[in-house]
Structure 1
């Protein structure tokens, strides 16, 4: 069957964290649409695959790929990564910010280096890559930046650093979209549900079991987290967002898994109250004690913290 033209043939993509799992699946899917791919992982020889093994698989299928080992949390490394794409293929059209690190701990047990390591690789890494790739995209007036976030931005247990980093990526995505949209460059984000090295290992499953037994997550959440679909099911939607067909999709956040695609609503005020402070002064504690429950009525019935 002849491939439909989605405007991807000959484009150049950099996919961070593409040695295995989700990044590998996206890299291979883009390559199969005629995209020239720069794969990336932090170092060679990682158990389960690295940037070079993914590049080899792409080349074996008759497509073009080069591997660049670089730490996305390192500003100079990322400058070299993006520069390598330009040197090899003369462009960067598509950037998939997929690399990230999780260092799970409860807030009262977390060390500073565990916070820094997660935020640096996940949030700062997305900034670093976007900063350098956006220069060429803006000049060419065409580009796609797609950021990997997580449902952890909605709230998580035992991963406050990861949740903060992924929430930060939502803000980063929306800000980049506003800055670059007028230049023909889009920036979107997605929360994947997929079995990867980070989500599908015994340590993670043991931790989830403890949280379920402690009542911190529901049986449904436990079942979902321990039986995730393959990463390959996420890749087609990412390819679509990278294509010409998605030129008018900008600053949005999607949920993607095999057999399910969702779209998150825009943040909005859902209940308000007003006071003419010029005439009556600011809200005082007595009025707030009366008004706050009314604001939350029907919206937030249970004042206890979410489990």
Structure 2
């Protein structure tokens, strides 16, 4: 197979780091993007020590010029990026009556605007190559979650965005799918536990008890799903939202 170049945003840690490492093990060159380039060092080290090829790129995905420069750098140093994982995200949780406009705008900016900018900037490489894979990270919170009006709205929006890109780009050999994780043990969920004043172990136990499989997810669970969607053999799967959540969700 042709060696492909992937971009993974928010790849300094957690789900993004796991996805980047998995795609590298699948044989892709991987650009590790995060707001702070130096924060990507551990992900880059994990990939290169395993024999993969990668670069770290600092970029603000919510900023148009930053995205353009980042994608151009990837194209120059690794080749045309034809795989995109829109994983970058932030939390600004609060109940609606306490949520500020800045809290709303920042979450929308990173999740929705960022995914739009990254997809728009990389799609020209994909359509030119006649091959592309876009995977957007949604969330089970898209179904609604107390204290996350901004995050839930952004993650639900990404599902509509995903389906529309699948329709628009399919004839060019580009698929677009979304992964909607349930509870995944990461720094982000640990921060949520701290915010609500619950010890993280207790927080995870409660989350595990709520699933059919009686356990919480790990970043590698999401990486496995991303690997499937990005595979060259998955070209007939597009516009789908896969809930990786330990059981069915209503």
Q: TM-score, normalised by structure 2?
A: 0.89
Q: TM-score scaled by structure 1?
A: 0.73
The answer for the alignment partner of 1:251 in structure 2 is 239
* Gap regions ≥5 residues in structure 1: 1-6, 210-218, 266-307
Task: Give 1:139 deviation, angstroms.
Answer: 1.4
Match of 2:26 in 1: 33
Q: Which residue of 1 aligns with 2:185?
A: 195
Higher relative contact order (CA 8 A, sep 6+): 2
Aligned partners of 2:129, 2:146: CA distance in 1, in Å? 42
Structure 2 equivalent of residue 3 of structure 1 = none
1: CA distance, partners of 2:50 / 2:207? 38
CA pair 17-224 structure 1, distance change in 2 beyond 3 A:
farther
Whether 1:228 aligns to 2:221 is: no
How many Å apart are 1:53 and its aligned residue?
Answer: 2.1
Unaligned runs of 5+ in 2: 199-204
Residue correspondence of structure 1 range 159-198 to structure 2 within 5 A: 159-193=148-182, 194-198=184-188
Count of aligned pairs: 242
Contact 2:75–2:81 (8 Å) recurs in 1: yes
Q: Does the aligned pair in 2 maintain the 1:39–1:52 contact within 8 Å?
A: no
* Higher percent of residues as helix: 2
The residue that corresponds to 1:63 in the other structure is 52
Q: Is contact 2:9–2:87 with CA below 8 Å preserved after alignment?
A: yes
Larger mean CA deviation between 223-232 and 86-95 belongs to: 223-232
Structure 2 Cα separation of the partners of residues 44 and 140 of structure 1: 28
Query: How many angstroms does 1:204 deviate by?
Result: 2.5
Residue equivalent to 1:295: none
Cα displacement (A) at 1:223 = 4.2
Matched, 1:137 2:130: no
Map of 1:290 onto structure 2: none
| TM-superposed deviation, 1:222 | 7.8
* Distance apart, 1:55 and its partner CA: 1.2
Change (3 A) 1:156 1:21: same
Residues 6-38 of structure 1 show CA distances to partners (whole Å, capped at 9, x for unaligned) of x4x611000000001000001001101110000
Give the corresponding residue for 1:22: 15
